[in-house]
Amino acid sequence: MLDGFNQGSMVTIIPEKRKIIGYCRNHHGGVPKNFHNYFVAEFDKDFEYTHTWKDDWKLQKNSLNSEGEHVGAIVGFKTKKERSS
């Protein structure tokens, strides 16, 4: 789960590159009005599912991007099943 925080944020999930990119604008002063804190989260496993949420915290299933006052992303991964003896 990745939380873009409030005060304006954007997330984009790029499954083929195993990445989540975006920005958040949350700050505590001392920055220009056009401040954006950009981020990249890179993973070593393929995503099993991708979801985002926007402002009202309602999950947008199978979504790859979201932009608004407060957005975030959720990705899931396949896990290996253990063999029984």
Q: What is the pLDDT of residues 26-62, one digit of tens each?
A: 888 898 988 999 999 999 999 999 999 998 878 999 9
CA 50, chain centre distance (Å) = 9
Half-sphere exposure of 12 (CA within 13 A, CB side): 9
Domain boundaries, the chain: 2-77
Instruction: Reply yes or no on whether the pLDDT at 23 is more than 90.
Output: yes
- pTM of the entire predicted model: 0.84
Of residues 24, 20, 33, 14, the one with CA closest to residue 71: 24
Looking at residue 14, what is its pLDDT?
97
Instruction: Reply yes or no on whether the pLDDT at 82 is more than 70.
Output: no
Looking at residue 68, what is its pLDDT?
92
DSSP 3-state of 17: helix
